[in-house]
Amino acid sequence: MKTLIKNATAVLPTGSVKTSVLIEGNRIADIAPAGQSSADETVDATGLHLIPGVIDDQVHFREPGLTHKEDFQHATRACAKGGVTTFLEMPNTQPNTITADALESKLALAAGKCLVNFGFYIGATPDNLDVLKTVRRTPGIKIFIGSSTGNLLVDDQDALEQIFAETSLPICAHCEDETTVRDNMQRFAGTQDVADHSKIRDHQAALIATRRALDLAKRHDHRFHVLHVSTANELALIADHGGLITGEVCPHHLFFNIDDYARLGTRIQMNPSIKTREDNQALWQALLDETIQVIATDHAPHTLEEKQQPYPKSPSGLPAVENSLALLLDQVHRGNCSIEQVVHWMCDAPARVWDIVNKGRIAVGYDADLVLVDLQKTSTILDEQQETKSSWSPWHGTSLTGWPVRTWVNGKTVFQDGRIDNRIRGSEVQFDHARGGYWKTQ
Ligand code: DOR
């Protein structure tokens, strides 16, 4: 099957250019093909931008075990609609993904159900070092240095030293200091005010844990990715370590702050907690100056019924995959960044952070994971229109300009004209760990 996409403004690694892109099978076969290319389908993309599919390097899709909140089918329908063609998923499912068997059965489950491409982190525990040393079909190791949803936690210093010393896969971590959070929980015992969540999981908790993780990474010269950076204070620690350390920020930490609790309550209860307006601004600036490389969602759905319990019974987490690209395209519309920067943060950089083979760029020979976006289209996010099984969005009622209108996964159209093709299946992502990390591949 050959598809010729004509007249699009394609966002290439070298910049944006009005050109044609030829898809053959599951690959990008040519850019600006000479002469009259024959194709089974010709798409006239006049007025639209063609970008690589988004790679979301931090999601929680809840399968197996927690499928009343989310499952692969619903979550990847949401991805298809949102222009996300690849996801990397976290290990706090049930069972936790902490053994080679659990990883392989999750991969098999995903192959049967996911409409987009997939990879799964292996979770660290205080005593699964042998697994972490030997497992390979994974982007890397996830450590909860502070606990969040689920029971994964490695807080013991000796265990952490061993993981950083003896494993070779890249490591990423949830950085909130357990002791600080527990002390703060005692101080705020009895509170039912969700705004106190940001005082319990406070700036100090994030700073202490990120400092601790970076100290380990530097001493052991170990590739390390700081997940969901939420404070201005952490940025100075992350900046400029010659590619050893990379960082990620999430839309909720960019666009929500503590002033929003009054309006949105537990819908924006997250770990790490949302912080202040000043933190929003510093995180945005860190993207612009490349202190932070990646935008990912931390898509973490819970049912509205669960979320509507009084704090602190309400669980932390919110769904986001189907709106993350539009949220950033809306920033392009407002003149706060360029579409090339959005492609860098959401497509190219995650591919290089995790050494993903043949993804994240529009280039000949790369996988045909592509998204057509309409920078003029305005639409309002509504709970009742969400594909996620949890059926809500913290951005309910928000109008955005700039939306994905068609998504290809491995050369096949999975989303077009508002319709999702349930028959499409993504494939397991390949990682070239020998490439050795972010900056070294440039
Ligand atoms: O708020 C959160 N919820 N943060 C996490 O890191 C985990 C997530 C979840 O799985 O619910």
Residue 38 lies in a domain: yes
Atom of ligand 1 nearest to the CA of 302: 11
- Which residue of 56, 57, 58, 60 sits with most ligand 1 atoms within 8 Å of its CB, as the best mutation to test the pocket? 60
| Residue 252 near residue 318, CB atoms below 8 Å | yes
**Residues identified as active-site:** 298
CATH number, domain of 89, equals 3.20.20.140
Residue 440 lies in a domain: no
Check whether residue 217 and residue 271 sit in a common domain: yes
Residue 412 lies in a domain: yes
> How many domains does one find in the chain?
2
- Which residue of 66, 151, 270 sits with most ligand 1 atoms within 8 Å of its CB, as the best mutation to test the pocket? 270
Whether the model pTM is above 0.85: yes
What does the alpha-carbon distance between residue 370 and residue 64 come to, in Å, rounded to a whole number?
A: 28
* Nearest Cα residue to atom 10 of ligand 1: 149
Check whether residue 14 and residue 73 sit in a common domain: no
Residue 442 lies in a domain: no
Q: If pLDDT is split at 50, 70 and 90, which confidence band does 433 have?
A: confident
For residue 115, the CA-to-ligand 1 centroid distance in Å is 23
- Of the chain, the percentage scoring pLDDT greater than 70 comes to 98
For residue 425, the CA-to-ligand 1 centroid distance in Å is 26
What is the token pair recorded at 268? 């924006």
Check whether residue 163 and residue 211 sit in a common domain: yes
290 Cβ neighbours under 8 A, 6+ residues apart: none
Residue 405 lies in a domain: yes
Residue 393 lies in a domain: no
Q: What's the rounded mean pLDDT across residues 94-104?
A: 98
Q: Give the sign of the dihedral formed by CA 26, CA 116, CA 329, CA 340.
A: negative
Check whether residue 79 and residue 107 sit in a common domain: yes
Check whether residue 221 and residue 270 sit in a common domain: yes
Q: Is the pLDDT of residue 399 over 50?
A: yes
| Residue 406 near residue 372, CB atoms below 8 Å | yes
For the stretch 192-202, pLDDT in tens is: 999 999 999 99
Q: What's the rounded mean pLDDT across residues 87-106?
A: 98
Check whether residue 27 and residue 171 sit in a common domain: no
Check whether residue 101 and residue 228 sit in a common domain: yes
Q: What SS3 class is residue 79?
A: helix
For residue 260, the CA-to-ligand 1 centroid distance in Å is 19
Q: Is the pLDDT of residue 248 over 50?
A: yes
Q: Tokens 């525990």 label which residue?
A: 125
Check whether residue 350 and residue 371 sit in a common domain: no
Least Cα distance to 274 among 197, 192, 345 occurs for 197
Atom of ligand 1 nearest to the CA of 174: 6
Residue 388 lies in a domain: no
Check whether residue 15 and residue 129 sit in a common domain: no
For residue 315, the CA-to-ligand 1 centroid distance in Å is 8
| Residue 154 near residue 146, CB atoms below 8 Å | no
For the stretch 297-309, pLDDT in tens is: 999 999 999 999 9
38 Cβ neighbours under 8 A, 6+ residues apart: 2
Check whether residue 17 and residue 164 sit in a common domain: no
C-alpha R_g of the chain: 21
Order the strands of the 117-120 sheet from edge to edge: 54-59, 84-89, 117-120
What is the token pair recorded at 114? 């996911």
Residues with CB under 6 A from ligand 1: 60, 92, 148-149, 174, 270-271, 298, 300, 316-317
For the stretch 309-364, pLDDT in tens is: 999 999 999 999 999 999 999 999 999 999 999 999 999 999 999 999 999 999 99
Q: Is the pLDDT of residue 440 over 70?
A: no
- The confidence score (pLDDT) of residue 441 equals 47
Find the DSSP H helices in 220-303: 232-238, 251-255, 261-264, 277-288
For residue 77, the CA-to-ligand 1 centroid distance in Å is 21
What does the alpha-carbon distance between residue 285 and residue 282 come to, in Å, rounded to a whole number?
A: 5
Residue 437 lies in a domain: no
For residue 319, the CA-to-ligand 1 centroid distance in Å is 10
Strands 245-249 and 412-416: unpaired
161, containing H or E segment: helix 157-166
Residue 13 sits in which domain range?
A: 2-50+364-378+399-420
Three-state SS annotation for 59-75: ECCCCCCCCCCCCHHHH
Q: Is the pLDDT of residue 284 over 60?
A: yes
Q: What SS3 class is residue 336?
A: coil
CA distances to 76, 81, 312, 319, 327 from 304, in Å: 20, 21, 15, 11, 22
Q: Is the pLDDT of residue 111 over 90?
A: yes
Atom of ligand 1 nearest to the CA of 228: 6
Check whether residue 140 and residue 29 sit in a common domain: no
Q: Is the pLDDT of residue 436 over 90?
A: no
CATH number, domain of 415, equals 2.30.40.10
* Nearest Cα residue to atom 3 of ligand 1: 317
- Which residue of 88, 89, 92, 390 sits with most ligand 1 atoms within 8 Å of its CB, as the best mutation to test the pocket? 92
Strands 224-226 and 294-295: unpaired
72 Cβ neighbours under 8 A, 6+ residues apart: 61, 63, 109, 110, 113, 114
Check whether residue 144 and residue 155 sit in a common domain: yes
| Residue 372 near residue 32, CB atoms below 8 Å | no
